[in-house]
Amino acid sequence: MANLFTLGALDGGARRGRLQLAHGAVETPCFMPVGTAATVKGLTPAELREAHTQIVLANTYHLWLRPGKETIEAAGGLHAFMAWDGPILTDSGGFQVFSLEGRRRLDDEGVTFASHLDGSEHRFTPESVIGFQEAIGSDVAMLLDVCVKLPASREELEESVRLTAAWARRSAAVPPSGATLRFAIVQGGLDAALRERSARELVELDFAGYAVGGLSVGETRAEMYATARATAALLPEAKPRYLMGVGTVRDLVAAVDCGIDLFDCVYPTRCGRNGRAMTSGGELNIFNAPFTRDFSPLDPSCDCSTCTNFSRAYLAHLFRAKEMLGPRLLSYHNVYLVNALMRAARDAIAAGEWALFRDRASG
């Protein structure tokens, strides 16, 4: 497969690159805001662009159930449906399905599950998941994998690695449709030998990119960082690396240092909806009493429209009054801040100043 990822600079473990996708180029390292159901909660596509978002993530499980493939196809594809003309990565939905304990049945061919919406029965196979994502026009389709919560027994982890590889081989056998790239997901929990086996079996299939899966699911931060770093070292240098489910400033900086290129998480927007702001001085809770008469910007170091137009006191008022503008303004700021962090990281790597930036940003 043609390699659409260009590695531009290395500084220690950190990498700066460029991933060319059907709907545009993505400069890495890059954070992907989560638009689970074809929308990043509370934000319009125009606001995402203003916040310097390059690519968004949507979820196969949720879109499969509602509105369904036929509706999205009739709209002209996912990009037209959600009025977002930039790149979209769609998760396979595997994590969501395997979170439905007691409501799903796993076998070698796939997984059968009951919808959380109405209890109706559905079936995911490696082929149907790839077919769905390509039919709706995703720029990047994640392969169906088996994710387990930690801690897990070695038997559970071995079965996850076995099935993930078997399903990846079946996915690779599906003839490509359109310009959708396919990324495989490395499993293995915290077991170094199983991680090595999973990575080796997936890399042999030569996918366009690789994700480090099965983390941020119950392990400690130290365990997550160590496993992410070790797994990244097993993956091809010339392919993009994606760590799933991290979105705090601390975790993003550490993961870039581990050699990861792409990230996603609901954290910035979930925090925004609940009154928690990510700022250059650390996180703050807008419900705290002192902010009710604090007329300074949310983050004096930030030039987003929330920080340049509205005070902490006004934001505190919006949340107390349960006005929907409050969660929207904080969500916008948090996404803007994380995108600015990634932009600064790219500049630091290119300038050979990553270590200085890393220590300052994570301190």
Give me the active site residues, please. Answer: 91, 264
Let me know the angle formed at the C-alpha of 159 by 153 and 162, rounded to the nearest 5 degrees. Answer: 140
DSSP string over 131-174: HHHHHTT-SEEEPP----PSS--HHHHHHHHHHHHHHHHHHHTS
* Percent of the chain as helix, strand, coil, to the nearest 5: 40, 20, 35
How many Cβ atoms sit within 10 Å of the Cβ of residue 98?
Answer: 19
On whether the CB atoms of residues 249 and 278 are closer than 8 A, the answer is yes
Q: Is the peptide bond before 67 cis (omega within 30 degrees of 0)?
A: yes
At 223, the amino acid letter reads E
On whether the CB atoms of residues 292 and 317 are closer than 8 A, the answer is yes
Q: Which of 114, 169, 178 is nearest to 141 (CA)?
A: 178
Q: How far is CA 145 from CA 109, 129, 137, 159, 209, in A?
A: 12, 10, 20, 11, 15
CA 286 to chain centre: 26
How many Cβ atoms sit within 10 Å of the Cβ of residue 295?
Answer: 10
Q: What is the distance between the terminal CA atoms of the chain, rounded to a whole angstrom?
A: 41
- Region of 195 on the Ramachandran plot (φ > 0 left; ψ -120 to 50 alpha; else beta): alpha
Helices (H), the chain: 45-50, 60-65, 69-74, 78-82, 94-98, 126-135, 154-172, 192-203, 221-232, 249-257, 267-273, 305-309, 312-320, 325-350, 354-362
